[in-house]
Amino acid sequence: MDFESNYDIVGSAQFIRTHDFTRVALQFPDHLLKDSTRVVTALRKRLQSLKKIDVTEGGHEKDVGLFVMADTAYGSCCVDEVGASHINADSVIHYGHTCFSPTTNLPAFFVFGKASVCIPDCVESMSKYALINSKPIMVLFGLEYAHSIQQIKERLLKPSDPKLEVHFADVPSSVMFPSKDTKKINGLQEPASGYHGESGTTYSIGGLTWKLPEGQSMDDYSLFWIGLDDSAFANVVLTFNTCDIVLMSIVVVKIPIKIMNLFDSAILEARYELDWWQDFRYDANENQMVTDLFQQRRILKRRYYLVERAKDANIVGILVGTLGVAGYLHIINQMMELITGAGKKAYTLVMGRPNPAKLANFPECDVFLYVSCAQSALLDSKEYLAPVITPFEAMIAFNRGSQWTGAYVMEFRDLINLPQTEVADQEEEARFSFLKGGYVEDFGNQENVEEEREALALVNATEKALQLRNNSNAIVKGNARSGAEFLATRSYQGLNMPIENISPEPYLIGRRGRASGYEDEKNQQ
């Protein structure tokens, strides 16, 4: 694959030229940064040649400023509009893997890159799979494979086998303009999980869109994914987790025995767990079909656990995970309302891309709510001291009466127009915590408590300050309802008692060197 086509130099130049952009930011993810200079050179050359044509046509003359942006503060899949606005850019060209989240202000051009795929193998296994499978197949793919899809499609449908019902998602256009419609900026766009148009339901996820005829839903289809096991795939998997399970046999030429085994175990598993979805993945690099999605299935269960954990939280930290995705302010406000409505305390934290050490600086937060684009939304690791949940999970956790149904929404934009489930509080009941195995108090149930607490917070805190603490060891974590209360229960209150011996300390020579190994330590080794 040659360089120019991989980086779509022609398309990018065309994009700049046709819209007359003068300051263009080129956003590279870290692993592509090494190519940035070559891309800039090539692009500039291309623009030059286009300019010549322009000049001959007698247009105006302008220099195009190209700026390379690296090291984005948030996920590299989103367009870094804040970074681009630092240099007053009027458009962004985004390279590499993208989540295709809509931008707020700047037009963007996406270069997905082109990954190679062995088309005949892919077509063969797909058609075999389709023959045995009773359900129609919907083919979804990673954007970096978009370039081969047309070929696969042609090849696959060439035999004109009427029985073969294979549908392909549409290849997205590489150009994105921020929506002028204010309603849309607020995020009121078509929901990713599908909306009912006149002629059927349109789905869109991670840039891919497709349409299903009237009366059909994704449950009637089997999903076929061409691409890597990356965040885009995880996104698809979680969003369409209710897709009906179809048992299918796949025979891949290369390793039939292994696949048959996988198939057998898949039958068993499916019989055992009818509740979870199953779809199939075609890994283009290794050219093999993977049906064992146990790991992904676990994720969903794990998310269910995190939701239950979040229900027990008193203090929620809202992590701002994006400054670019359209509607992020709206969702943050909505989440704030939701959390305070549930009688919990919310703090908004802006810290760039979160990591465990950063989050551990806020031990008072029982749970973090991460507002970001769909593909970087899932943060889960043992390293985190408190669970990190998505806005959708927060909706379930903090809305009294909403149930975990297994349906999952990754894009927070879809939550904005999700109907607020009005929970008629007809039966007052304390909330049952499944982690503690008993009833726990819900502050929402107790009127006026919150108000009183706000007004008297200081008074209460000072009152407690003078309480006799019989045992400093009795530190109870997790009962604090606000950051102030948490700090009040800390054993360390800010100052050490002056040590009786106040004679001056002798002069000492400190350590030298860097923290990773001071000089005296280096000598020891």
Provide the binding-site residues for another protein, judged by CB under 8 A. 272, 274-276, 298, 300-305, 308, 356-363, 383, 385, 403-406, 427-430, 432, 434-441, 446, 449, 470-471, 473-477, 479, 490-492, 496, 515-517, 521, 524-525
Strands 91-95 and 200-205: unpaired
Q: Are 248 and 256 in contact (CB under 8 A)?
A: no
Residue with tokens 């590499």: 96
Give the C-alpha separation, 219 to 405, whole Å: 15
Contacts (Cβ under 8 Å, ≥6 apart) of 261 = none
CB of residue 481 to another protein, shortest distance in Å:
9
CB of residue 358 to another protein, shortest distance in Å:
6
Nearer to another protein, 221 or 277 (CB): 277
Nearer to another protein, 173 or 405 (CB): 405
CB of residue 403 to another protein, shortest distance in Å:
5
Residues composing the chain: 525
CB of residue 232 to another protein, shortest distance in Å:
23
CB of residue 41 to another protein, shortest distance in Å:
39
CB of residue 360 to another protein, shortest distance in Å:
4
Residue with tokens 């286009």: 50
Nearer to another protein, 212 or 245 (CB): 245
Per-residue buried b or exposed e for 166-194, using 16+ beta carbons within 10 Å of the residue's own CB: bbbbebbebebebbeeeebbbbbbbbbbb
Residue type, 153: K
CB of residue 74 to another protein, shortest distance in Å:
19
Helix (H, G, I), strand (E, B) or coil at 487: helix
Q: Are 187 and 416 in contact (CB under 8 A)?
A: yes
Nearer to another protein, 257 or 459 (CB): 459
**H-run or E-run covering 11:** helix 9-19
Q: Which two tokens stand for residue 296?
A: 């992904």
Please give the backbone phi and psi of residue 264, each rounded to the nearest 5 degrees, phi first: -55, -50
CB of residue 515 to another protein, shortest distance in Å:
4
Give the C-alpha separation, 315 to 231, whole Å: 29
Nearer to another protein, 189 or 241 (CB): 241
Residue 213's nearest CA partner among 204, 201, 195, 196 is: 201
Nearer to another protein, 31 or 522 (CB): 522
Nearer to another protein, 216 or 446 (CB): 446
Nearer to another protein, 152 or 218 (CB): 218
Nearer to another protein, 1 or 267 (CB): 267
CB of residue 449 to another protein, shortest distance in Å:
7
Q: What is the dihedral of CA 322, 323, 329, 334, to 10 degrees?
A: 10
Residue with tokens 């299903």: 212
